[in-house]
Amino acid sequence: MTWDQDPPPGARRGYHHGNLREALMKAALELIAAKGPAGFTFAEAARAAGVSPAAPYRHYRDRDSLMADVARRAFELFAAKLSQAWAKGTPDPFKAFERVGHAYIAFARAEPAQYSAMFESGLSFQAFPDLHVAGDRAFNVLRDACAALIATMPEGKRPPVMMMALHIWAEAHGIASLFARGDEARRPIPMSPEDLLDAAVLIYLDGLGVRKAG
């Protein structure tokens, strides 16, 4: 996590002009890690940030708006990680596609609080359209990767891009959520989550007729 701010004297995390929003977001992530995304109040977030109960209203109307901001930024980081892994499909779309799956798992492992904020907060996309946009940006990396793989197939045998993207997303998300997350909710399995995902994707792609050359 890279949201740290230097606390002022006399406060655990403290507030001075310009860093209240960052302090609240950092406090929210710590509370998510300890109690889950629904396990704390707005007042608790303020207390954890070392500010008065009224201070958060400078930036947020309520707890949900704070959570939406945390989730939005998490999605932005997630999208950047997936995009970096995809690297425009180099050196070939199959290797790049595998990297995207591994990046999905790595994020769940390395950032469990942000992962929970993104997917377990129960926030409405209608109420927080910026959150919806950020989530779509991350999903679009996966969709573009699927489109590149589909383009390697013969015309007339290409599945719908959105269908394939949703199927792959479900596989990656299920494996990451069950077996790869970096908190105590992770379930043990006799293989790495990456190997499990690679096998599941290989079986899926083979069923569609998507085969790597050689």
Residue pLDDT, tens place only, 85-106: 999 999 999 999 999 999 999 9
Give the burial class of 178: count Cβ atoms within 10 A of its Cβ; 0-12 exposed, 13-18 middle, 19 or more buried: middle
Residue pLDDT, tens place only, 72-83: 999 999 999 999
151, part of any domain: yes
pLDDT, residue 7, reads 42
Residue type, 153: M
35, part of any domain: yes
Is 0.75 surpassed by the pTM of this model? yes
Indicate whether 145 and 75 sit together in one domain: yes
**What is the CATH number for 54?**
1.10.10
65, part of any domain: no
Indicate whether 42 and 142 sit together in one domain: no
Of the residues 11, 27, 60, the one at which a domain ends: 60
Indicate whether 151 and 47 sit together in one domain: no
**Which has more pLDDT, 186 or 143?**
143
Indicate whether 43 and 81 sit together in one domain: no
5, part of any domain: no
11, part of any domain: no
Indicate whether 75 and 174 sit together in one domain: yes
Indicate whether 98 and 56 sit together in one domain: no
9, part of any domain: no
Indicate whether 28 and 84 sit together in one domain: no
Mean of pLDDT over the chain: 90
Instruction: Output the DSSP codes for 1-15.
Output: -----PPPTTSSS--
Residue 102: HSE in the Cβ half-sphere, 13 Å Cα cutoff: 13
pLDDT, residue 181, reads 86
Number of domains present in the structure of the chain: 2
Indicate whether 93 and 47 sit together in one domain: no
pLDDT, residue 213, reads 59
pLDDT, residue 212, reads 67
**What is the CATH number for 157?**
1.10.357.10
Given a contact cutoff of 8 angstroms between Cβ atoms, the answer to whether 161 and 139 are in contact is: no
pLDDT, residue 210, reads 79
Residue type, 94: F
How many CB atoms lie under 10 A from the CB of residue 68? 24
98, part of any domain: yes
pLDDT, residue 185, reads 76
Indicate whether 51 and 131 sit together in one domain: no
pLDDT, residue 18, reads 57
Q: What is the mean pLDDT of residues 156-182?
A: 94
Indicate whether 193 and 87 sit together in one domain: yes
Task: Give residue 149's domain range.
Answer: 71-182+189-208
How far is the CA of 13 from the CAs of 22, 23, 128, in angstroms?
10, 7, 27
Residue pLDDT, tens place only, 5-49: 444 433 444 445 458 999 999 999 999 999 999 999 999 999 999
7, part of any domain: no
Quick check: 112 pLDDT over 90?
Answer: yes
Indicate whether 32 and 83 sit together in one domain: no
Indicate whether 176 and 198 sit together in one domain: yes
CA angle at residue 66 from 27 to 166, to 5 degrees? 105
